[in-house]
Amino acid sequence: MDNDRGKHMNLIGKKLTLRPLERRDLEVSRSWVNNSQIAALLLRVLPVTEIEQERWFESICTSPNRMVWAIEDNSQHIGNVGLYNLDFVHRRAEAWTLIGELTKRGQGFGREATKLLVDYGFNGLGLNKIYLHVDSENTIAIRMYKSLGFVPEGELTAEYFIQGRFKDVIRMRLLAQEWRDRNRI
């Protein structure tokens, strides 16, 4: 089953394009989450098998409360971005961003991809709140999220046990009206 749901949902930015994740993206995506450096930032502990990756993809294709895009720079797949736990009753979702190609980090791709995702969530899907969870030590990501208007909403102490120690997680959120106020032309 290919993810043909939402082929029209390409989101075009200045430097990159978000397009629906496809089966051909699975192996490189799996290699990213199995990289110990990236996995720690994603708060992952266990490696992902090919079967688990396929199941994850199938869940994206069939679940009405998950949307995932591949991030492309000049037709090169450099990461993924998504909305999970889409709740159209309470109009909220959980966002996440991954720049998997290490050579593409620090160039603004994560910020632009997150900005496109958030704008689509608020203006395309009619969400009121987008939230995320980030490792409290991931200062680069926290700074990037704050630059887009996300604010800390709380801290989950000792939430994950990764690489031999407990990690605290910050929950951050952004409301639609705050987004609109920040992005008025």
Closest CA to 95 of 162, 163, 171: 171
Q: Residue 162 — pLDDT band, cuts 50, 70, 90?
A: confident
Single-letter amino acid, residue 33: V
Report the distance separating Cα 42 and Cα 40, nearest Å: 5
Catalytic residue among 84, 131, 145, 160: 145
Look up the pTM and report it: 0.91
160 carries an active-site annotation: no
CATH of the domain at 51: 3.40.630.30
pLDDT for 96-152, tens place per residue? 999 999 999 999 999 999 999 999 999 999 999 999 999 999 999 999 999 999 999
Report the distance separating Cα 167 and Cα 83, nearest Å: 23
Rounded alpha-carbon distances, angstroms, from residue 64 to 5, 40, 59, 81, 87: 10, 28, 9, 16, 9
Residue 2 within a domain: no
For residues 100 and 78, is the Cβ–Cβ distance under 8 A?
yes
Inform me whether the pLDDT recorded for 7 exceeds 60.
no
Structure confidence at residue 185 (pLDDT)? 55
Residue 128 within a domain: yes
The arithmetic mean of pLDDT across residues 82-89, rounded, is 97
Residue 139 within a domain: no
pLDDT for 130-139, tens place per residue? 999 999 999 9
Residue 154 within a domain: no
Residue 150 within a domain: no
For residues 43 and 135, is the Cβ–Cβ distance under 8 A?
yes
For residues 148 and 174, is the Cβ–Cβ distance under 8 A?
yes
How many structural domains compose the chain?
A: 1
pLDDT for 37-57, tens place per residue? 888 788 887 889 999 999 999
Residue 101 within a domain: yes
The arithmetic mean of pLDDT across residues 171-177, rounded, is 98
Residue 64 within a domain: yes
Domain of residue 15, residue span: 11-132
Inform me whether the pLDDT recorded for 1 exceeds 50.
no
Beta carbons within 8 Å of 85's beta carbon, 6+ residues apart: 65, 92, 93, 94
Residue 82 within a domain: yes
Mean pLDDT of the chain: 91
